Amino acid sequence: MPDINAIGQYYKSEDYISHTNTSKGLINTLYQKVRIRTMKQKAGIIKKYTGLQVGSLLDIGCGTGTFLHTMKQQNWQVMGLEPDADARKVCRVTYEIEAAPSDNLFSLAPHSFDAITMWHVLEHIHPLQEYMAQINLLLKPGGKLIVAVPNYSSKDANVYGKFWAGYDVPRHLYHFSPKAMQTLLHQHTLRLVKMLPMWFDSFYVDMLSSKYKTGSIKYLSAGLHGLASNINAIGKVEACCSVIYVVEKK
């Protein structure tokens, strides 16, 4: 596991879409088109589970700011934290939103946010326990934490084994199953409200996985594996390739 000072180099890739916002290549073009829809779905999740049409949102690991922009357009008060200076610059130039360095998390006022989101971010955090404790402190009474992470106990992970893109070596420092997530939440007196599927993730992750395994994207087989994964997860979200966890204080 690279330490916190050495890991930055592994994010410096034009293919790392959450930091570059690139549309280069078919897979990233498809990702960008799907993201337009998923942003609306994520906004709907925030409103549904907070019970608020407007409120205060902290997006940890906001990348280039697309989700912040989506929520700001819907009149939410938004704040983003992002460790990568280049991604913060894209956020500022593209959306006119000034994201802050991640260390600012520990200087924010308690009980400040109706919602805190981490979209495929928790698995990247070095001080995992410290982050969870601070997030608990920052949530308002009744506030919700929304966490999306890959699920290493999914059908996709079993199919691709060590080539499964959800492992994202060495950027992913931790890996979560629904059981592991429950354990982490219990340690911080947080309660799981709901698990939600991320249906599109299976197709994207499987396309990347096929590339890692064979050297090129096998669109047909990856698509079939993604479809099989989603069918397998119908009625049992805990089997989904990626899972959204809706969480609140006990």
Q: Which residue has the tokens 């956020």?
A: 91
**What is d(CA 31, CA 109) in angstroms, rounded to the nearest whole number?**
35
Instruction: Name, in order, each residue with C-beta under 8 angstroms of 181's C-beta and a sequence gap of 6 or more.
Output: 147, 149, 192, 243, 245
Residue 37 has a pLDDT of 84
Q: Over the stretch 31-78, which tens digit does the pLDDT of each residue have? A: 666 778 899 999 999 999 999 999 999 999 999 999 999 999 999 999
Q: Averaged over 19-25, what is the pLDDT? A: 57
26 pLDDT higher than 80: no
**189 pLDDT band (50/70/90 cuts)?**
very high
**250 pLDDT band (50/70/90 cuts)?**
confident
The phi, psi pair for 191, rounded to 5°, reads -115, 135
Average pLDDT, the chain: 92
Q: Averaged over 8-29, what is the pLDDT? A: 65
The secondary structure of 64-99 as a DSSP string is TSHHHHHHHHTT-EEEEE-S-HHHHHHHHHHH----
Around Cβ 211, how many Cβ atoms within 10 Å? Answer: 16
Say if domain 7-249 classifies as CATH 1.20.1070.10: no
Cα dihedral 135→49→166→93 (10° resolution): -70
Residue 30 has a pLDDT of 64
- Percent of the chain exceeding pLDDT 90 equals 84
Boundaries of every domain in the chain:
7-249
Residue 18 has a pLDDT of 57
Which of the two residues, 86 and 115, has the higher pLDDT score? 115
Helix (H) or strand (E) holding 144: strand 139-150
* Longest CA–CA separation in the chain, Å: 49
